[in-house]
Structure 1
Amino acid sequence: MAESPSAKKKREGIEETHGTPGAQGNGGSDGDSFPLAELRVRKVLRESARDKTIFLHGQVNGVSGDGTDAVVILEKTPFQEENISDLLKRHTKLQLQMTNDIYSTYLLYPPPQLNEIKTTVVYPATEKHLQKYLRQEVYLIRETGEDYKNISLPFIQSQSFSIQWVYNILEKKAEADRIIYENPNPSDGFVLIPDFKWNQKQLDDLYLIAISHHREIKSLRDLTSEHLPLLRNILEEGKGAILKHFAVAGSQLRIYLHYQPSYYHLHVHFTALSYDAPGCSVERAHLLSDVIDNLELDSQYYQKRALTFPLRADEALLKKFQEAGKA
């Protein structure tokens, strides 16, 4: 998806206004940045050659000398069309690896300013964070409406999942400068904000999140026809805001909800259709337009139907399904 001149101008305007988030979501301020040079790598949690990403467990020594855990995610950034000329010509070293007839392979060493690595930091990190990023076997669960009531919902209610960071965004206590659109209605409104997976420098991996102002909807399972005005607002106003700010049409977007979600507050994902975003696979993603259609047909659709989703081997919810003989 090439970035048009008008989209580039709009995108640069957004960056001048909002900035690019730092590793700790503080706007990139050098004054309180993460002490990366002091990180002691303890373990590689996971790596993906396909996604050019590595997940590290490290520790940083505190004042008392004890190590504080951190998760550091290193990810090669996508190519930017406007930098290709510099990438090929400007102080770039080319090292031959192999040649055979008309085919040859090289290692290209670009100048530092064109060799960015996106770095995401979770610090201090808890054991739950370490387990979240650790490579695990994955199992597919088929959850009926009764399974949700008897297994999943009691489990969710028993856990202390903190979503204060979500409320901080909704209340403008954090990341207010990153919000690109808001419908302030407390029942049918939402905020639209770039996901941290997207650096906002190119449109190929565009990724935004719509977070509902309604605080009583945990997931897809809670949705009824009562929530159709909210869902329609997110769909139509979200597409309109993305078209205005990034010149990307709704027909070029994948708009969906996760089940199970990564946190239990209603939110909707907006990604570039050409981008194979994490979690967009059929066993987890539900297109928002389909959700709206289903609720128009039956208000209790998501209370009745069976839903399929993946669970990692270390997840406590999987153990609950196994104990019930459902996995």
Structure 2
Amino acid sequence: MAEGPRPKRKREEEAGAAPHGGTVTAPFPLAELRLRRVLRESARDKAVFLHGEVTSPSGEGTDAVVILEKTPFQEEKVSDLLKKHTKLDLQMRNDIYSTYHLYPPVELSEIKTTVVYPATEKHLQKYLRQEVHLIRETWEDYKNITLPFIQSQSFSIQWVYNILEKKAEADRIIHENPDPCNGFVLVPDFKWNQNQLDDLYLIALIHRREVKSLRDLTAEHIPLLRNILQEGKEAVVKHFGVPGSQLRIYLHYQPSYYHLHVHFTALGYDAPGSSVERAHLLADVIDNLAMDSMYYQKRALTFALRADELLFKKFQEAGRV
């Protein structure tokens, strides 16, 4: 199934408000969820995106998005998987080849579950299967279409500020450079459960608040970017034993939220958003800025947009699609 860049999971949208604002404290009532429809499924990511509804005692229904995702195998548990009361049903045998359905015990059958609750129509559209289009954005397009669109929208990034100010997730910070101009914090992304290194995923959030995306970067930001690249690699090898040569370190354009951040993923992990139409390697970004301070204010940038996204409609209205 052809898929566009899977939107990055915004923490204030998908984990509820509890980690950041403290407004959601009760566990999600999964047993009371009524399935409305399957928004999307991904065979590649072994994930399904569901639209459900929770009915309150008063009879009022509240929408929810539930994402079910198979977790990667953990090497240290494979032996248990093969030995601990695992049921094996033969499906087919042909010469030396055979296939089975394996039913592991409950403790080895984990499914990562992410909940957006209450969910708005915007959340539902975000995860609904959509046609995807490539956009070639010139600098003029950015000034006349993209930037006014960003400025007109109320994109909440309070969860980012909560992390930077240690109001939330302080215990999850892997590394921090506190310099207000050239510093950042490095935290695990919510897509990574930290149980194995195969799908390692961390995010570097800069302290500066005026830098929204790749388009804002100039040679002035090279010290900041070099700090992220060097200190980030050192922190990952120190904490997780993964060398820099086995990391993919990149920025998204378009990003899913407009506060500059850098992705650190395991090189062998086919992470969502790591495809060529969205990911820009940090080392290449630094080299480009060193050659030309205004590099990202001059060149055209290509990215994918879903057909239902407002920004895509803005490009359509401008005759650029």
- TM-score computed with the length of structure 2 as normaliser: 0.92
- State the SS of the aligned residue for 1:97: strand
Contact between 1:23 and 1:34, CA under 8 Å: does it hold in 2? no
Partner of residue 109, structure 2: 115
Percent of pairs with identical residues: 81
Query: Contact 1:53–1:76 (CA<8 Å) still a contact in 2?
Result: yes
**Residue identity opposite 1:278 in structure 2:** P
d(CA) in 2 for partners of 1:243, 1:93? 39
**Cα deviations by residue, 1:259-317 (Å, 9 ceiling, x for unpaired):** 00000000000000000000000000000000000000111000100000000000011
The counterpart of 1:154, out of the listed 145, 148, 160, is: 148
Unaligned regions of 5+ residues in structure 1, if any? 1-21
Q: Choose which of 228, 235, 254 in structure 1 pairs with 2:248.
A: 254
Cα 1:210/1:142, change in 2 over 3 Å: same
Identify which range, 121-130 or 240-249, moves more after superposition. Answer: 121-130
Given that 1:25 and 1:175 are in contact with CA atoms closer than 8 Å, whether structure 2 keeps it comes out as no
TM superposition shift of 1:39:
1.0
- Any residues of structure 2 matched to 1:185-264 within 5 Å, and which? 185-264=179-258
The corresponding residue for 1:74 is 68
Letter in 1 for 2:315: F
Structure 1 equivalent of residue 174 of structure 2:
180
- Structure 1 outlier segments of 4+, above 3 Å: 22-27
List alignment gaps of at least 5 residues for structure 2.
1-13, 20-24
Given candidates 34, 57, 64, the residue that maps to 2:51 is 57
How far apart, in 2, do the equivalents of 1:112 and 1:262 lie? Answer: 35
One-letter amino acid of the counterpart of residue 218, structure 2: T
In structure 2, how many angstroms separate the alpha carbons of the residues matched to 1:24 and 1:250? Answer: 33
1:92 corresponds, among 86, 102, 113, to 86
Which of 259, 275, 282 matches 2:276? 282
Give 3-state SS (helix, strand or coil) of 1:197's partner.
coil
* 2:266 is equivalent to residue 272 of structure 1: yes
Amino acid corresponding to residue 273 of structure 1 in structure 2:
L
Looking at structure 2, the residues matched to 177 and 47 of structure 1 have their Cα atoms a distance apart, in angstroms, of: 33
What are the Cα deviations for residues 181-212 of structure 1, in whole angstroms up to 9, with x where unaligned?
A: 11111111111110111110000000000011
Q: How many equivalent pairs are there?
A: 304
SS at match of 2:85: coil
> How far apart are 1:24 and its partner, in Å?
4.2
State the Cα distance separating 1:25 from its structure 2 match: 7.7
Question: 1:294-313, aligned counterparts within 5 Å?
Answer: 294-313=288-307
In 2, Cα distance between the equivalents of 1:250 and 1:25? Answer: 34
Q: 1:41 aligns with which of 7, 19, 35?
A: 35
Alpha carbons of structure 1 residues 25 and 236: separation in structure 2 relative to 1, 3 Å: farther
Which amino acid in the other structure matches residue 153 of structure 1?
L
Q: Distance in 2 between matches of 1:230 and 1:68?
A: 43
* TM-fit CA distance, 1:63: 4.5
- Per-residue deviation, residues 233-274 of structure 1 (Å, max 9, x unmatched): 111111110010000000000000000000000000000000
- How has the CA–CA distance of structure 1 residues 33 and 23 changed in structure 2, closer, same or farther, with 3 Å as cutoff? farther
Q: Show CA shifts across 1:68-107 (max 9, x none).
A: 1111100001001101111001100100011111111100
For 1:23 and 1:138, locate their aligned partners in 2 and report how far apart those are by CA, in whole Å. 26
Q: Which residue of 1 aligns with 2:132?
A: 138
Aligned-partner Cα distance in 2 for 1:66–1:196 = 30
Taking the aligned partners of 1:129 and 1:179, their CA distance within structure 2 comes to 27
Q: Partner letter of residue 48 of structure 2? A: I
> Which SS does the other structure have where 1:147 is aligned?
helix
After the TM superposition, which of the residue ranges 172-181 and 305-314 deviates more from structure 2?
172-181
What is residue 22 of structure 2 aligned with on the other side?
A: none
Q: State whether residues 23 and 33 of structure 1, in contact with CA within 8 Å, keep that contact through their aligned partners in structure 2.
A: no
Structure 2: how far apart are the matches of 1:107 and 1:225? 56
Say if 2:312 is the partner of 1:315.
no
Partner of 1:13: none
TM-score by length of 1: 0.90
